[in-house]
Each structure stands twice: as structure tokens, then as C-alpha cells.
Amino acid sequence: KKGDKEVTHEGDDFGNVSAKKANETTQFQDWMEVNSKIRENTNSKHENYSSTKELFYLSLLLNKIKGSTSYEDIRTVNGILYTTFEDAYNALLI
């Protein structure tokens, strides 16, 4: 950032400071690497997509249904136990 200063401690020789600096990554580089891994994981297998999709619908249901004590409670809408969180959420919308 503009105005940031590099700090060294007494006893650090230039070689150690340079080696530490060379191994550091920026926050932007870390962010790009995480995005790359997420993309690899979501594009790699259909199973990953299915599980991610179920987690998405679970989170939607948790915002709508209060007081649930089990996954079955969350998947139950109007007395009907649905197989998936997606099915339960869609039933909730009807």
C-alpha cells in the first residue's frame, strides 16, 4: 500500500529479510489461488455440484424454518418429509 514501510529487526541480515520477502504472497495472489481452487472443485465432478447445491438449499431453509432440531425437521414441509433440501424448499414456495 502507499505509505507502507518495510520493517526489519536488529540481527536480521539482508539475506534472511530477502528470503522471507521472496516467499511472501500478496493478499490478491492468495485470493486468486483460492478462487482457482474453488473453480477446480466445482467443475471437477457432478457430485460436488450436487452437494454444494444441497448446502445452498439447506441454508435457504434454515433462514425460513425456525426451531428445527434435525435434518428431517428441516426437510418436512406441511407434514410431508421430502428427500432433499431442494425439494423441501420448492414445496415451501408453493
The residues with which 80 forms a beta bridge, in sequence order, are: 77
DSSP state of 3: T
Q: Answer whether residue 83 shows pLDDT above 90.
A: yes
Distance between alpha carbon 41 and the CA centroid of its chain, in Å? 11
What pLDDT score was predicted for residue 39? 65
The domain spans of the chain are: 14-93
Model pLDDT for residues 9-61, shown as the tens digit of each residue: 566 565 555 555 666 777 777 777 877 776 666 555 555 556 788 889 999 99
Residues, the chain, total?
94
What pLDDT score was predicted for residue 27? 75
